[in-house]
Chains A and B, each alone.
Chain A
Amino acid sequence: GAGVSQSPRYKVTKRGQDVALRCDPISGHVSLYWYRQALGQGPEFLTYFNYEAQQDKSGLPNDRFSAERPEGSISTLTIQRTEQRDSAMYRCASSRDHTDTQYFGPGTRLTVL
């Protein structure tokens, strides 16, 4: 079956612009996660959804970051007024439930100029 997909794969934007990153989880997976991975580092947790409910947003760095999953499937991570320090790989993962293995998408490489 299809894995987790993310779009766009690459995004270059100018400082101050808003960006929206999309994640399409594996069909039937109720749990969805966003992670951020800086160069040379492992992924770091941002937020977690169970169905459409955002259960944990403790990893979002500040209020410029938000995420939604309105119908319990596709999720969007939005970064407002981007800054250069937001440049990173943004990874989405999904799992059958919150206790199961997380499978990751290919990531979106965000570059803020």
Chain B
Amino acid sequence: AQKVTQAQTEISVVEKEDVTLDCVYETRDTTYYLFWYKQPPSGELVFLIRRNSFDEQNEISGRYSWNFQKSTSSFNFTITASQVVDSAVYFCALSGSGGSNYKLTFGKGTLLTVNP
């Protein structure tokens, strides 16, 4: 069975602070994908990133960066110089290999509030 744990339920920061959202996963698959999605107050679910389990290189996209560490089964997300528009619920998700590789298993999400 697959599992995604986002231990931080809520985080509150002041604008321009850096913030890291934690994600720990469990899977028996050797090949899998990890994802982050953003759910702003408007409610839609927006795709941010997908990472293959064979690619442990960190990725940076503007103010966003992701740290994938297989040794600790973690896929953490850092926002640098946070802005009010970053306020949202952020979900980490996992899909495995094999016959049900299309199923996304989500964590419970972390509510990030960025205060001006």
Contacting residue for A101 out of B44, B47, B106, CB 8 A = B47
Chain B contacts of A25 at CB under 8 A? none
Query: Given A101-B50, A104-B37, A42–B107 Cβ distance below 8 Å?
Result: yes
* Residues of A that sit less than 8 Å from B by CB: 31, 33, 35, 40-45, 48, 56, 59, 89, 91, 95, 98-99, 101-107, 109
Contacting residue for A43 out of B43, B46, B102, B104, CB 8 A = B104
Contacting residue for A91 out of B45, B47, B108, CB 8 A = B45
- Residues 86-110 of B, flagged 1 when their CB comes within 8 A of A and 0 if not, give 0000010100000011111111110
Chain B contacts of A33 at CB under 8 A? 102, 104
Minimum Cβ distance to chain A for residue B43 (Å): 6
Chain A contacts of B46 at CB under 8 A? 104
* Residues of B that sit less than 8 Å from A by CB: 4, 35, 37, 43-47, 50, 91, 93, 100-109
Query: Given A40-B108, A42-B107, A48–B44 Cβ distance below 8 Å?
Result: no
Minimum Cβ distance to chain A for residue B61 (Å): 15
Minimum Cβ distance to chain B for residue A107 (Å): 6
Inter-chain pairs besides A42-B91, A106-B44, 11 sampled, C-beta below 8 Å = A35-B104, A41-B108, A42-B108, A43-B91, A45-B103, A56-B100, A89-B43, A98-B101, A99-B101, A102-B104, A103-B47
CB pair B50 A43 closer than 8 Å: no
